[in-house]
Amino acid sequence: MYRFLLSWRWAAITLVGLLLIPTMIRLGFWQLHRHEARVARNALIGRNLTAAPVAFDSLSTPGWAVPTGQTWRAVTAVGSYDAAHEFVIRGRTEPGGSSIGYFVVTPLKLADGKGEVLVNRGWVESGSDATSYPTVPAPPSGRVTVTGRLRADETTASSGIRDRGGLPDRQFKLINSGQQAKATGAPLLGGYLELASSVPAAGATPEVLPEPEHSDIGPHMAYAVQWWLFTALVPVGLVVLARREAKEIAAERAKAGQDGELVDA
């Protein structure tokens, strides 16, 4: 009754099933690894955000590349803003919203003379058109103490944003201390500070960016389990299909036998 399993059709069905099993196992492990990476990222962010703030210039020097383990570290900087070299970053989404605008980045000249730090002061709406410089609240004058999060310089690879030339004056695609150091000649420390608070408190300011989400572990573990369940269902499905076809063949033979008996009668 199961000789049909030797047919070319069933050979093809079985081959597809055998190919699906390792593929879905690998997809399950891929989702598991994404889950593990997200858990590790959240743990890193949580540790760095709750660590005691350290001076930005105790970590960074000009040309320094922020290591992954230091990203989101709570940092402080004391100095005065260099509003003359302020610039904006195009194509950035409003915190918690969907509007596209600009990040406002202002260099901070450190009081200890060790250089300057790029400070992302937050988000503002777009100007009247794509080439106009947006309306930006002026930074506080005089000496300030800023506290925020250490971020790595953006690159086309890390940001997912293409860096194109020919942009209007003081508008850029990326926050990159090396790029700005070449443009201005300032001794900019590597990385930048994403502003959380300022002392003394400023008046009107760009919309301050919130802390990154680091409690949600995402759906990747559930997806991994789903792929492995699908893997287990492949052989079960083959057995069910084979038994169903065997029953259909048996029913057809029984019906043919009954028809033959009627003809003989």
What DSSP line would sit under 66-98, residue for residue?
A: PPGGGTT-EEEEEEEE-GGG-EEEEEEEPTTS-
Closest by Cα among 84, 79, 89 to 117: 79
243 shares a domain with 170? no
User: ∠ CA 61-136-180 to the nearest 5 degrees?
Assistant: 25
Q: Does residue 73 fall inside a structural domain?
A: yes
Rounded CA separation 86/139 (Å): 9
Q: Point out the least confidently predicted range of 3-12, 105-114, 147-156, 247-256.
A: 247-256
Which residues constitute the domain of residue 152? 51-199
User: For 158-166, what is the mean pLDDT?
Assistant: 61
- pLDDT for 152: 95
12 CB contacts (<8 Å, ≥6 apart)? none
Q: What percent of the chain is modeled with pLDDT above 90?
A: 53
Instruction: State the average pLDDT over residues 184-199.
Output: 94
Find all residues with CB under 8 Å of 46, minimum gap 6, and list them: 214
**In a domain? residue 43:** no
Is the same domain home to 194 and 226? no
Query: What is the sign, positive or negative, of the torsion defined by CA atoms of 188, 193, 199, 205?
Result: positive
168 and 63 in a common domain: yes
What's the confidence (pLDDT) of residue 165? 62
How many alpha carbons fall within 13 Å on the CB side of residue 88? Answer: 27
Mean pLDDT across the stretch 87-106?
91
Q: What pLDDT score was predicted for residue 229?
A: 92
Q: Tokens 């949600």 appear where?
A: 216
C-alpha span between 199 and 189 (Å, rounded): 21
Residue 102's CB is within 10 A of a number of other CB atoms, namely 23
pLDDT score of 158: 60
Residue 210 lies in a domain: no
In a domain, 211, yes or no: no
The answer to whether position 260 is within a domain reads yes
Domain count, the chain: 2
Asked if residues 68 and 47 have their Cβ atoms less than 8 Å apart, the reply is no
Q: How many residues does the chain have?
A: 265
85 within some domain: yes
| Better pLDDT: 25 or 259 | 25
Q: Nearest to residue 218, comparing CAs of 26, 24, 33?
A: 33
What's the pLDDT score for residue 263? 56
